[in-house]
Amino acid sequence: VNILAIESSCDDTSAAVIADGKVLSNVIAGQAVHEQYGGVVPELASRAHQENIVPVVDLALKKANMQLADLSAVAFTQSPGLIGSLLVGSCFAKSMALALDVPLIGVHHMQAHVLANFIDDPQPQFPCLCLTVSGGHTQIVLCESPLKMTVIGETMDDAAGEAFDKSAKLLGLPYPGGPLVDKHARDGNPDRFRFPEPQIPGLNFSFSGLKTAILYFLQENRAKQADFVEANIADICASIQLRIVTILMNKLVKASKETGISEICIAGGVSANSGLRKALETYGAQHNWNVYIPKFEYCTDNAAMIAMTAHYKYLAGEFSPLDTVPTARAAFSAI
Ligand code: ATP
Ligand code: FE
């Protein structure tokens, strides 16, 4: 079974080929056009996808040493994402499936982030828990099988990636600031400044209070010392990172206790964070978890994870009609 998968939910155009569950290629074209605006501009993202999609798909097929005639199905990201971006990938995938007369497979982007953990060995055993931390989502997902997943906790406001990016912005760092906070944090003392941990019931998260706390903290200290941020950047970043990571890990511990599950994986762009990766190892050792972290190129947006999900859907006979439509938001079960 050979599947071509296309991912175009946000600002990366990606195509991958998977053969019998093995990823043969994963091509990703980023979009530099957004940098000058300090965030993704949806209209410009759609146009860049339109420009990139043909060369990206061509390259993915070439790298996999695959011809169009070898394909058994075409998969695409159906939801969630920017609607204009999703439309480019879905129209392309539909046209290709129609032309080749092969099945079409719509994939849920957040389910795919979780299944990035199943691309390489060792793979988590079912049931497992996944902490998905990305630019737009923060979820704890209970996975009973590749296609049976339930969100048991999620953010009520900002995502973890947003918390990193908004904190970075307050510190005057360029977008996306998450990786820069991580970089500065490596040289800092995480116990120097204490930011509050919100008391949110159950397994849900909240990060908007942290942003406000940081804003007031910076205003107060800058009034006393004009170069406060510049002089203390490492300690500030380390302290912010520790708070975000602790909020995430405390809920993950709670989820593991409540479900009795100790197969624990993480997914999404924030799983690149060195503090979170380290915390997963230490908490894992403490609580006897088996922990899994996908390779970095499978953490941020990529078509390999869409291909992996499509592989499971193909085996289960879950195909999409040609008149299916992408949507900006959807539950796992709706796709
Ligand atoms: P979604 O899947 O929810 O639609 P997305 O796919 O756009 O969102 P990702 O690409 O998975 O998001 O992740 C991007 C986020 O990860 C950004 O907020 C970025 O700052 C954050 N990020 C990436 N690397 C790091 C790091 N080392 N430390 C902290 N945050 C990071
Ligand atoms: Fe994503």
299-309 pLDDT tens trace: 999 999 999 99
* DSSP class of 76: E
Residue among 31, 3, 30, 8 nearest 89 (CA): 8
Please give the number of the atom of ligand 1 that sits closest to the Cα of 136.
Answer: 3
Distance CA 239, CA 156 (A): 23
Query: Is 274 known to sit in a ligand binding site?
Result: no
Average pLDDT rounded to a whole number, residues 42-69: 97
Residues near 39 by Cβ (< 8 Å), separated by ≥ 6? 175
How far, in Å, from the CA of 61 to the mean position of ligand 2? 23
Is the CB–ligand 1 distance for residue 209 below 6 Å? no
Q: What is the mean pLDDT of the chain?
A: 97
Please give the number of the atom of ligand 1 that sits closest to the Cα of 177.
Answer: 20
ipTM over 0.90: yes
Q: Give residue 32's pLDDT.
A: 85
**Model pTM?**
0.96
Say how many CA atoms lie within 13 Å of 58 toward its Cβ: 5
Query: Is 109 known to sit in a ligand binding site?
Result: yes
